[in-house]
Chains A and B, each alone.
Chain A
């Protein structure tokens, strides 16, 4: 059992605030991802949970125990590092057994558990090797075996896949997900790769500049971003943004007026006279729509991806990306009528980045 609660965690180095009153609950047996760009505080958060770093203020709870002052060796967490951090002077078997030896586990039990962990990670044949004789993928498996062998209450993973090549990374994602299901433990996962976070997580906490931007399921994060940062960070290719203003008397029936187009909107949560930003994902743009098009844009770049075709379009000096069928017959220079799906557009206040459309939980 391990529920992790972070209460108003703040970490600062002099004037630089790395974490700003972060409050976050991780449910027992959950796969929670801390997602954000580099420098957002996600690794610092993980280190504070592990006890490797201390918070300037705030508290960390495991279940109902306050572990803020507990040193890492007594927190019973396992951590997997981006660099794997295998002990170079020890053989694989000793690397895996190290944590058990430190905890004075009986010798025959160590042997049995190391064998099981090695088998689970399919590295039984590598036990007598030194880390330097292993490939990146094999090192990764040893690092995971070293974590699972201890049967800790909590797994912390710090960008464990980012040093692997693209193909291996994809297969390890699946493997980690399977591992989480089998072990049935709480996983806290740190990554800057939004695709990875969407694929693997039960819930995602998006961080930026030391602040929690949004906490939700991958579907929530993708479909109902709480602010312009989350909207722009999650999704590939990223969401298109258009600057403009609002038009209309009532909150329920407004239109967004951009340069060269007008877009109908769902009811707003609040009305503003300030500048706004419209956000549309590439897949929510209909090209040559059945109904009335919003405007016409020129095809600048064609990017066929096999399963999809991405077009970069230009409208009054602004460019945006749209996804369409690979068989669609568009060429460079073509003038294409388009429309945004009004049910799927997002609207943000330009200055604060806050979402303005209804039915979207605003957290930050």
Chain B
């Protein structure tokens, strides 16, 4: 009895430490985002005079306010749209090609399937910095610099291997007998896939869909190099543009950061059941 209480306490302390580790940087960005610039430079934890000015700069740039960063803030809606287009397309590509590849790997026994899986895994161990220059050259040679497509392709290369691994594991947890039962019940091959397999595998699909969306939404390095104007620049890159100003507006960067992560966080909260079941289920199952 006593030992279980002690175990509990230890468990909660550890959870708290992990929570602080994850939440503190984010909490700090949130508090900075509602400070005035001079207070942020002092390094307060809790703002003395909270202000919505920094958010107003993004959401209603015409209303005036601080001068610094105004030009960049004006581009914010367009950058959000760019990010959304890129992340959505990355998600679509991951779901479409990832599910086809994973279904084949999960259901068909063929020579080299293990080697292929290891190759996918190995490709993830190459740091992005190492391939970003050759990739830049390829993108430039095809005349794709400063396009959405360039970023979409780049993001797909490093999200797809992960998607395939997770989906393969998830698909293997869907019993083959379900599809067989559907066949004897009168479904063709595609009917069994669409009416039985995909609905059953939906949590896994939604999980990796969200994952690839968030991965693309928050990616910075490739997007920074492949985009140069507001026609393709995603919001992560836009926020970094503040550093090019004479004075670095920390509070605006912080507010931009909060706005950038808002969408992934909302998505993760709404769909957490699928993310845990889809991605967690595949690994433990």
Select B187's contact among A75, A88, A102, A146, beta carbons within 8 Å.
A102
Give, as a whole number of angstroms, the nearest-CB distance from A109 to chain B.
15
Q: Does B280 contact A (CB under 8 A)?
A: no
Does B199 contact A50, Cβ atoms closer than 8 Å? no
Q: Would B177 and A73 count as touching, CB distance under 8 A?
A: no
- Confirm or deny: B49 has a beta carbon within 8 angstroms of a beta carbon on chain A: no
Partner of B200, one of A72, A89, A103, A150: A89
Interface residue? B30 (CB, 8 A): no
Contacts of A103 on B, CB cut-off 8 Å?
186
> A242 within 8 Å of B by Cβ?
no
Of the candidates B180, B186, B196, B200, the one whose C-beta lies within 8 Å of that of A81 is B180
Residues of chain A with a CB closer than 8 A to B178's CB = 85, 87-88
Chain B nearest CB, measured from A122 CB (Å): 22
Instruction: Check B185 for interface membership: any CB of A closer than 8 A.
Output: yes
Which residues does chain A contribute within 8 Å of B184, judged by CB atoms?
Answer: 50-52, 72-73, 75, 77-79, 99, 156
Distance of A81 from chain B, by nearest CB (Å): 5
A81–B185 CB distance below 8 A: no
Which of B181, B196, B199, B202 is in CB contact (< 8 Å) with A79?
B181
> Which of A71, A79, A82, A89 has most B Cβ within 10 Å?
A89
Determine the distance from Cα of A103 to Cα of B184 in the docked complex, in whole angstroms.
11
B75 at the interface (CB under 8 A from A): no
Please, which residues of chain A bring their CB within 8 A of the CB of B52? none
Q: Which of B181, B186, B200 has the most CB of A within 10 A?
A: B181
In the bound complex, residues from chain A placing their C-beta under 8 Å from that of B199 are 89
- Is B77 part of the binding interface, using a Cβ–Cβ cutoff of 8 Å? no
Q: Does B188 have its Cβ within 8 Å of any Cβ on chain A?
A: yes
State whether the Cβ of A330 lies closer than 8 Å to any Cβ in chain B.
Answer: no
- The verdict on B183 contacting chain A, using a C-beta distance below 8 Å, is yes
Q: Mark A73-108, 1 if CB is under 8 A from B, else 0.
A: 101011101110101110000000011001100000
Q: A71-B188, A102-B191 are in contact. Are A85 and B183 (CB under 8 A)?
A: no
Give the interface residue-count category, chain A.
Answer: 20 to 34
Chain B residues near A82 (CB-CB < 8 A): 177
Question: Complex Cα distance A51/B178, Å?
Answer: 15
0 or 1 for each of A281-301: is its CB under 8 Å from B? (1 = yes): 000000000000000000000
Are A98 and B200 interface neighbours, CB within 8 A? Answer: no
Contacts of A102 in B (CB 8 A): 185-187, 191
CA–CA, A150 and B177, complex, Å: 18
Can you list, as one digit per residue, whether each of B177-217 has a CB less than 8 Å from chain A (1) or not (0)? Answer: 11011111111100100001001101000000000000000
Q: Which of chain B's residues has its CB closest to A152's CB? A: B184
A47 contacts which chain B residues (CB < 8 A)?
180
- Determine which of B180, B185, B188 lies in contact with A98 in the assembled complex, contact meaning CB atoms within 8 Å: B185
Q: Give the CA-CA distance A103 to B188 in the complex, in Å.
A: 12
Q: How far is the CB of B194 from chain A (nearest CB, A)?
A: 12
Cβ contacts under 8 Å, A156 to chain B = 184
> Within the complex, what minimum Cβ distance (angstroms) separates A72 from chain B?
4
Q: Is B175 part of the binding interface, using a Cβ–Cβ cutoff of 8 Å?
A: yes
Contact partners of A75 in chain B: CB under 8 A: 184
Distance A50 CA – B184 CA, assembled complex (angstroms): 7
Which residues on B sit within 8 Å (CB–CB) of A77? 184
The B77-101 residues at the A interface (CB cut-off 8 A) are: none
Chain A residues whose C-beta falls within 8 Å of the C-beta of B200 in the assembled complex: 87-89
CB-based closest 4 A-B pairs: A102-B186, A85-B177, A99-B185, A85-B181
Chosen A-B contacts, 28 in total, with CB atoms closer than 8 Å, are A51-B183, A51-B184, A52-B184, A71-B188, A72-B180, A73-B184, A79-B180, A81-B177, A83-B177, A85-B175, A85-B177, A85-B180, A85-B181, A87-B181, A87-B182, A87-B200, A88-B178, A89-B199, A89-B200, A89-B202, A98-B182, A99-B184, A99-B185, A102-B191, A103-B186, A146-B181, A146-B185, A150-B185
